[in-house]
């Protein structure tokens, strides 16, 4: 009978180490990585189609593809060997992400990519494919919905308080909702930032507003909720 004292840590780590690494076949690895690339491309196309931010970043779309494939590779390695999984957890624990996520929907795409990589590496291919299709269709339906109730910001520059009051009253008559977000007064100029909700898709009232006496300029911009006064 072999005593426990005679077994060293080196013997434990040497035991079946190489055999466990090869527990996932080359064919399974190839299929998982190829599917990860394909679904990653699908995620990228959905992201590109539904992006509604100020400036589109192609590098983020490429990151979604790479993240799906990298997650698949990592999970395949973790499930292949217990010792390797412990080292992987220790290595990933020191990783810190410093990039700020400005669009809330971007977080969903990141988690989507990671989840697909995990599911594919676990061998649940139908779940990864069918789930991605359903998620993609839902995002396409809801993210591309355009409504006149979406908020907008109107920036108005007026010459005096009289023209300011006239412009505000005009906006209230042409919109569902009109709220002053900020007001800047300078000598000979008053600047208003106002959040509005349109009655319909017609924006011709901005042209009429800019032609009013005392109104120097009127600008209509889409408002995504990230207001900074």
88 pLDDT tier (thresholds 50, 70, 90)? low
Residue 132 has pLDDT above 50, yes or no: yes
pLDDT of residue 74: 83
pLDDT tens-digit profile of 184-218?
888 878 888 888 888 777 788 888 888 888 888 88
As a dihedral over the C-alpha atoms of residue 68, residue 73, residue 75, residue 77, rounded to 10 degrees, the angle is -170
pLDDT tens-digit profile of 138-183?
998 887 665 556 788 888 888 888 888 888 888 888 888 888 888 8
135 pLDDT tier (thresholds 50, 70, 90)? very high
| Mean pLDDT calculated for residue range 24-49 | 90
As given in the structure block, the two tokens for residue 175 are 């919109």
Long-range CB contact pairs, 163-168, < 8 A, 24+: 163/212, 163/213, 163/214, 163/215, 164/190, 164/192, 164/214, 166/212, 166/213, 166/214, 167/192, 167/209, 167/212, 167/214, 167/215, 167/218, 168/192, 168/194
Identify which has the larger pLDDT, 172 or 52.
172
Domains of the chain in start order, with CATH, are 11-143 (no CATH), 151-222 (3.30.70.260)
pLDDT tens-digit profile of 90-127?
555 555 556 666 677 888 898 999 999 989 988 899 99
**Could you tell me which residues come within 8 angstroms of residue 51 by beta carbon, excluding any fewer than 6 positions away?**
103
Question: What's the rounded Cα separation, in Å, for the pair 88 and 79?
Answer: 11
pLDDT of residue 7: 47
| Mean pLDDT calculated for residue range 79-92 | 61
pTM: 0.61
Question: What's the rounded Cα separation, in Å, for the pair 218 and 205?
Answer: 10
pLDDT of residue 95: 56
Identify which has the larger pLDDT, 82 or 41.
41
224 pLDDT tier (thresholds 50, 70, 90)? low
| Mean pLDDT calculated for residue range 46-51 | 88
Residue 84 has pLDDT above 90, yes or no: no
């Amino acid at each position: 009978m072999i005593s426990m004292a005679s077994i060293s840590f080196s013997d434990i780590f040497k035991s079946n180490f190489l055999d466990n690494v090869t527990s996932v076949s080359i064919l399974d690895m190839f299929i998982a990585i190829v599917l990860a690339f394909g679904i990653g491309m699908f995620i990228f196309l959905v992201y590109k189609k539904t992006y509604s931010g100020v400036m589109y970043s192609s590098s983020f779309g490429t990151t979604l593809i790479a993240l799906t494939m990298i997650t698949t590779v990592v999970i395949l390695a973790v499930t292949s060997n217990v010792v390797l999984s412990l080292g992987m957890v220790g290595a990933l624990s020191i990783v810190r992400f410093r990039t700020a996520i400005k669009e809330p929907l971007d977080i969903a795409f990141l988690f989507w990519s990671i989840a697909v990589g995990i599911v594919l590496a676990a061998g649940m291919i139908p779940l990864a494919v069918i789930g991605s299709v359903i998620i993609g269709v839902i995002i396409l339906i809801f993210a591309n919905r355009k409504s006149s109730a979406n908020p907008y910001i109107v920036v108005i520059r007026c010459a005096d308080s009289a023209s300011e009051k006239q412009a505000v009253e005009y906006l209230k008559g042409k919109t569902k909702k009109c709220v002053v977000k900020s007001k800047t007064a300078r000598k000979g100029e008053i600047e208003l930032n106002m959040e509005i909700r349109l009655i319909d898709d017609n924006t011709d009232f901005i042209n009429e507003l800019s032609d009013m006496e005392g109104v120097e300029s009127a600008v209509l911009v889409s408002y995504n909720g990230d207001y900074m006064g």
